[in-house]
């Protein structure tokens, strides 16, 4: 199954922590590039490049950055995908062990739903609700490390396929890339699924972070224009505790930026750093 082919998008990976070297960053970037081209694109019809840059200042202004940092542990609602002041997506990833899984997760979701507002209709997992609108977060239901796989020896995230929203299960149908998800709209241990109920006007979530799955009424969301995904992240910080396997190191070279590109990149870098600082003060 596939959708209309999207324009070519560019993803930049930047480490702002000494704990993630450029060699490690480059190796993970190469693995994510292969995952996007080989695994994600045929299912979701996205097209993207994934490249490592030494700094935000070196990044061309039309790239969407994934920024690896070491000061996010106490700010779980800050992590994930957000929109910058111009409405372009960027992602923040904690450097801790298993960061390649989180980076893969954010990369795939950024490509499938850049603005964090894309929904798909289908029958609700909660009895009595009928038809609802699911937020398209392709990695969340099977985001735990136990359902990950490797590309070039780098741990990456499983993701669901468009068939995940099918009305009924079909024998032999695959619902996630690894096959871990066995039926439509299922949530695996360590994962979650969010949706909007048009009758109550509330957002709901099915999650499985404890002994058994549970349903949660998240209530109405105030600022939909700021991205549904970012607001749900802030209300459900436990979702960040489940991504935790390994990544190894390698070496890669990078071309230097031109003078004009560097000036524009520096301006965007300052704006992003200012926005991240404001987010972490809230």
**DSSP conformation letters of 116-176:** S--EEEEE-SSTT--EEEEE--TTGGG-SGGG-EEETTEEE---B-GGGG-SS--TT---B
Give the pLDDT band (50/70/90) at residue 206: very high
In terms of residue numbers, what domain contains 51?
8-281
Burial 65-82, CB ≥16 within 10 A → b, else e: bbbbbeebeebbbbbbbb
In 10 A of CB 152, how many CB atoms?
15
Residue 2 lies in a domain: no
Top-confidence residue, 48 or 76: 48
Let me know if residue 148 belongs to a domain: yes
Examine the pLDDT at 182 and tell me if it is beyond 60.
Answer: yes
- Does 151 reside within a domain? yes
248 pLDDT above the threshold of 50: no
User: Is 0.85 topped by the overall pTM?
Assistant: no
Closest Cα to residue 234, out of 280, 189, 274, 196? 280
pLDDT digits (tens, 9 = 90+) for 129-173: 999 999 999 999 999 999 999 999 999 999 999 999 999 999 999
Q: How confident is the model at residue 280 (pLDDT cuts 50, 70, 90)?
A: confident
The per-residue pLDDT for 120 is: 97
- Residue 256 clears pLDDT 60, i.e. is over it: no
Structurally, how many domains does the chain consist of? 1
Q: What percent of the chain has pLDDT over 90?
A: 67
Which residues make Cβ contacts (< 8 Å) with residue 252, sequence separation at least 6? 22, 23, 26, 27, 29, 30, 52
């Amino acid at each position: 199954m596939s959708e209309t082919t999207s324009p070519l998008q560019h993803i930049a990976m930047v480490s702002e922590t000494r704990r993630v070297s450029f060699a490690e960053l480059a190796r993970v970037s190469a693995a994510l590039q292969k995952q996007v081209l080989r695994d994600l694109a045929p299912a979701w019809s996205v097209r993207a490049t994934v490249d490592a840059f030494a700094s935000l200042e070196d990044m061309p202004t039309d790239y969407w950055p994934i920024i690896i940092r070491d000061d996010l542990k106490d700010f779980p609602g800050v992590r994930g995908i957000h929109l910058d002041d111009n409405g372009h997506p960027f992602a923040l990833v904690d450097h801790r062990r298993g960061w390649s899984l989180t980076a893969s997760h954010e990369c795939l979701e950024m490509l499938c739903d850049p603005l964090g507002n894309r929904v798909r209709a289908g029958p609700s997992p909660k009895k009595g609700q009928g038809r609802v609108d699911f937020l398209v977060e392709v990695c969340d239901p099977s985001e735990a490390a136990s359902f990950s796989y490797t590309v070039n020896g780098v741990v990456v995230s499983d993701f669901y396929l468009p068939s995940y929203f099918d009305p009924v299960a079909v024998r032999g149908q695959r619902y996630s890339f690894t096959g871990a998800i066995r039926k439509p709209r299922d949530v695996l241990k360590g994962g979650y699924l969010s949706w909007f109920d048009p009758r109550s006007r509330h957002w709901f979530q099915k999650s499985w972070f404890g002994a058994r799955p549970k349903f949660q009424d998240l209530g109405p969301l105030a600022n939909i224009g700021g991205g549904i995904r970012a607001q749900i992240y802030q209300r459900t910080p436990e979702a960040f505790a489940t991504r935790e396997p390994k990544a190894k190191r390698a070496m890669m070279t990078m071309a230097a930026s031109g003078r004009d590109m560097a000036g524009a990149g520096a301006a965007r870098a300052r704006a992003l750093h200012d926005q991240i600082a404001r987010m972490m003060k809230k």
